Copies of this chain bind each other. A is one copy, B any other.
Amino acid sequence: MADGLEEERDDLAAMIVPLGRALMAAEVPILREHGLAMWAYGVLLGLSEEPVRTQSALAKAIGADKTRIIGVLDDLQERGLIRRTPDPADRRARLLSLTPEGRRLRDSAQAAIRRSEDELLAHLPPDERRAFVRALKTLSVLPWPDPAGPQT
């Protein structure tokens, strides 16, 4: 990459994937303390952004199959953390939204996770830490080719 001598390193994926797994594994016990499983947390995060979404839109947004999250939604609704409102404009669809309790739980869980992440990031010098997070933000929003191929 015309970058002069580059230090030797493992493949990017070989470093990032295990790191991601470890990060997820570290979230599990934190989420469990909040009574949340990973997908449930993902749903709460996915519902943070307005406007409200339908179930399939949410599924696509959080990278899940639409059938995958149904049980999760059932449970969250039963616990009063989300609402499923019939869409007056399309009687097939159900609009999802967080209840105040859902919002509180999401905030509380996310705060705990952030604290745990900060411990991890503390291993990096401050400027490197900022660059790392900035780079992550940039790379995570890149348009990746759809694994399933362009929609027919």
B136 touches A19 (CB 8 A): yes
Partner pick for A16 among B9, B45, B123, B136, CB 8 A cutoff: B136
- Asked if A70 is at the interface (CB within 8 A of a chain B CB), the reply is no
A13 touches B27 (CB 8 A): yes
A114 touches B11 (CB 8 A): yes
* Bound-complex Cα distance A88 to B61 (A): 55
Which of chain B's residues have a CB closer than 8 A to the CB of A117?
11-13
Which of chain B's residues have a CB closer than 8 A to the CB of A124?
135, 138-139
B15 touches A136 (CB 8 A): yes
Q: How far is the CB of A130 from chain B (nearest CB, A)?
A: 8
* Bound-complex Cα distance A17 to B122 (A): 20
Which of chain B's residues have a CB closer than 8 A to the CB of A113?
11, 13
- Asked if A50 is at the interface (CB within 8 A of a chain B CB), the reply is no
Choose, from A73-81, A97-105, A140-148, the stretch at the interface: A140-148
B12 touches A136 (CB 8 A): yes
A120 touches B137 (CB 8 A): no
Over the window 103-116 of chain A, the binary record of Cβ atoms lying under 8 Å from chain B Cβ atoms (1 yes, 0 no) is: 00000001001100
